[in-house]
Amino acid sequence: MAEQPHYSVRGSGSRMRSLGITQHVTPLASPWTGELRVRFTDFLVNEIAKDGSVVHLRTIGAGEQKPGDQETKPAVEASEGTQGGQTQTQEEQEPVNDATAEKPAQDEPSMDVSPKDVAILEGLVGQKFTQELVQMFNSANAGPVGRKVTITSEPIEDRSKRGPIHQEIRRIFRSKIDTNTDASGALLASLQPSRRNNHNKQRGRGGGRGRDEEKPAGEYLHFTLFKDNKDTMEAVNQLARLLKVKPQVISYAGTKDRRASTAQRCSVRYMRPRSLASANSKLWGVVTGDYEYKSESMYLGQLLGNEFTITIKKCQVASEPSLPVDQRLDKIRATVEPALAHMAQHGWINYFGHQRFGTHQIGTHEIGKLILGGKFKEAVHSLLSYNPEIADKAERGEIPSDATGRDDYARNHACMLFMTGKDIEKAAKIIPRRFAAEACVLRQLTRQGRQSMNDHIGAIIHITRGLRSMYLHAYQSLVWNHAASKRWELYGGKVVKGDLIIIDSADAQQAAKETDQDGQEIITPSDGNNNRNNNDGGEDDDEDAPLRARPLTEEEAASGRHTIYDVVLPVPGYEVLYPDNEIGAFYTSFMGREENGGLDPHNMRRIHREFSLPGRYRKLMNRFLAPPSAEVKAYADDTEQMHPTDLDLVRASIRERKETRKRARAGSSAAEREDDPSKKKPKAAAEEEDKDQEMGEGLPADEEVADAPPLPEANEEAPPVQTKPEKPMDKVAVVVKFQLGKSAYATVALRELMGDPPEDAEAGGA
């Protein structure tokens, strides 16, 4: 297993500056550094619903697990060679396709056989067989039958008589009983499964178990999706395969990426809780629970934000990296607490985080700049850029053993084969599906062999809309970051003439009918630049965001009615208004430079509609949604879990209930033995029963009794206890917890809390 990468909290100082992230609002006593996601469970993300409630996994499966249920396996690091998050519900059954199902059939009324029909049957097949048929039919009306039952008549040699008998049985028993003929001419009659039972059986609803579920209270089943080390799309695709539905049927408010433990609400149409719960036993790294029927589906943007619980390990004071642990604790604590309080009161610049710009050598904003500039060939070549050293190793067969490494090597190999022209057909075949943009481009460029190699515009258009937009939005974000830094550098927290503010809908309607006194046009963007969110927050699809802005006059800016928290800056587009001050001019000069694309912010329409950008507005400043908190503490081992995940808490609750039941059973048994010595079990039998109970509780025995080893026999000497030497607690971690709106980035808040890294700090995505 390849070693898992560690991530620094921020990128290097030079990269941050190149992305326009240069200004600070919060004064720091001692800037400090640290590593993020040493374990992916160091980064916990819980979605915040529209009503302000934080989404947590409360129960696993269809409800509180009963004795005999298999408990969820612990989530552990992939670097340890294991995976986590698997659950087992009380009743396992095949995954189902409820998404395309119609509403469950209603109970069919009980039907009796008339005396006239009984007489007809007796005349055809005799009294005994008729009575058996009627009894079979009545048992079907009484409820589901546990096993298939077949009855046999006396042989009927005359074939011409058997046909009418089959028809009469079908008519009299309303096609509930199916008949066939064996080699001797005897009739074989068996119950035909009802439509209701077929419906339940096909959808895993327990029709064959003799248990009917209640009719759904709503059209959509909402549930909590908890995942470890998987992005949302990967988890949804895995769940959809098990449920035999299309991934699009499963809806959610926003995506969460891989390197974290996350909880979010999802919904699926026409699904039973038991069906979804049964899939838990086959999922790996994914758990569902907290089921609830509602009349409406989840949809993108239906969230207030995210709550983050982030553990930063290997913390050092930037200027004094060799401080003893006690002094480190004091210095970092003396920095974190006042800085966090300042951020809570004054906020920070609402930068787009560096994750938005990609982790490859050529950033996503660079590709977006080329597309907007009409340099499609250069954009394709940048997208297919590769590492020659890795590509050569892949061609020689020197492939890493881990899946991520294999995919990375295959990508570089495929790009090299195409860019050098060695084997373009093979390039399109071996590109991993995980690299969706590169795969789309290679398929389009090789669809007609070498004849289509120059269809660069078509290749970019064939990239899925979401990915294609990602490149364009990354360039917009780059411009916005630089404009925000320039705005703070020039004016700080002061509101000045020409700053843009959002106006409410009532004012906007009035303004649309009137001409502004200064002749200034009021712009209404028609597109919110919807983008998927990730673990760092940063969703841009705020459907509640006001859509109109106007500049402040000099009198309004000086009046004090507006604060820095009202000021917005435009993300470049053809339907936005630019500030009527030096920042408006900055957009023109910055975007017009050759190195920034040579673009005109006032001309963002393109011949190809796919590359036209309407733009939107973004608040200059950001603040926490709730009071933040932080804990600074010493630790010994980087694998230590500093804060429990939702799954850890659920498992602890399950274990506690199991231990309570065990103690209750043990106490009850002891009391019975005291009252009646004859009920005292032999020691061997009691130990065997205890072992059976432990295994029946759903946990492996070594997990169940890990902290309670068996006692030695009375005449045996207890073996010496083997203990590992304790590691010194010479490392410092900071566990910080805060809530951000969906347009905010967690790592931007962490940068504000920690300060800029030194030039030689480790670069990496967080």
Query: Quick one: CA dihedral 33, 38, 39, 43, positive or negative?
Result: positive
What is the pLDDT, as a whole number, of residue 483? 97
Q: Residue 517: left (phi > 0), alpha (psi -120 to 50), or beta?
A: alpha
**Residue the block writes with tokens 């990375």:** 408
Residues 6+ apart with CB under 8 A from 448: none
The three-point CA angle 375-381-382 to 5° equals 85
Cα–Cα dist 286/258, whole Å:
12
Phi–psi pair at 673, nearest 5 degrees: -70, -35
What is the pLDDT, as a whole number, of residue 309? 96
Cα–Cα dist 228/231, whole Å:
8
168: which 2 tokens?
């009469």
Q: What is the pLDDT of residues 322-343, one digit of tens each?
A: 899 999 999 999 999 999 999 9
Which candidate, 561, 583, 554, 573, places its Cα nearest to that of 617?
573
Cα–Cα dist 45/230, whole Å:
13
Q: Helix axis angle, 364-372 relative to 465-491, nearest 10°?
A: 100
> Residues 97-103: what's their mean pLDDT?
38
Longest CA–CA span in the chain (Å) reads 108
| pLDDT confidence tier of residue 298, bands split at 50, 70 and 90 | very high
The answer to whether 445 and 582 have CB atoms below 8 angstroms apart is no
> Residues 435-450: what's their mean pLDDT?
90
Cα–Cα dist 251/431, whole Å:
29
What is the pLDDT, as a whole number, of residue 721? 53
The three-point CA angle 252-258-262 to 5° equals 55
CA distances from 532 to 539, 712, 737 (A): 6, 58, 23
Residue 104, pLDDT > 50, answer no
Q: What is the mean pLDDT of the chain?
A: 78
Least confidently predicted of 493-502, 534-543, 548-557: 534-543
> Residues 473-490: what's their mean pLDDT?
96
CA distances from 314 to 37, 333, 354, 634 (A): 11, 14, 22, 10
Which candidate, 586, 362, 399, 387, places its Cα nearest to that of 475?
362
Q: Which residue has the higher pLDDT, 248 or 25?
A: 25
> Residues 206-230: what's their mean pLDDT?
70
Residues 6+ apart with CB under 8 A from 299: 251, 253
| pLDDT confidence tier of residue 592, bands split at 50, 70 and 90 | very high
31: which 2 tokens?
């800037």
Cα–Cα dist 255/226, whole Å:
12
Which candidate, 220, 252, 213, 200, places its Cα nearest to that of 99?
220
Phi–psi pair at 736, nearest 5 degrees: -115, 140
Residue type present at position 617: Y
What is the pLDDT, as a whole number, of residue 488? 97
Residues 6+ apart with CB under 8 A from 139: 145
The three-point CA angle 214-217-219 to 5° equals 115
The answer to whether 576 and 616 have CB atoms below 8 angstroms apart is yes
Which candidate, 685, 650, 654, places its Cα nearest to that of 669?
685
What is the pLDDT, as a whole number, of residue 65? 37
47: which 2 tokens?
């979605």
Task: State pTM to two decimals.
Answer: 0.70
**Residue the block writes with tokens 């008549």:** 153
Q: How far is CA 675 from the centre of its chain?
A: 56
Query: Quick one: CA dihedral 751, 753, 757, 758, positive or negative?
Result: positive
DSSP-based three-state secondary structure for 622: strand
Cα–Cα dist 163/180, whole Å:
10
685: which 2 tokens?
């039998």
Cα–Cα dist 418/439, whole Å:
12
Q: Which residue has the higher pLDDT, 703 or 662?
A: 662
CA distances from 420 to 367, 414, 415 (A): 20, 10, 8
What is the pLDDT, as a whole number, of residue 742? 85
290: which 2 tokens?
């907290």
Q: Residue 206: left (phi > 0), alpha (psi -120 to 50), or beta?
A: left
Residue 182, pLDDT > 70, answer yes
Cα–Cα dist 90/70, whole Å:
7
DSSP-derived pairing of the beta strands 220-228 and 348-349 = unpaired
| pLDDT confidence tier of residue 125, bands split at 50, 70 and 90 | confident
Q: What is the pLDDT of residues 223-274, one digit of tens each?
A: 999 999 888 888 998 899 999 998 889 999 988 877 899 999 999 988 889 8
Residue 525, pLDDT > 60, answer no
Q: Helix axis angle, 376-383 relative to 364-372, nearest 10°?
A: 160
Q: What is the pLDDT of residues 686-721, one digit of tens each?
A: 444 444 433 333 333 333 333 333 333 434 444 555
The answer to whether 268 and 89 have CB atoms below 8 angstroms apart is no
What is the pLDDT, as a whole number, of residue 680? 55
Cα–Cα dist 238/225, whole Å:
12
Which candidate, 302, 224, 226, places its Cα nearest to that of 266?
224
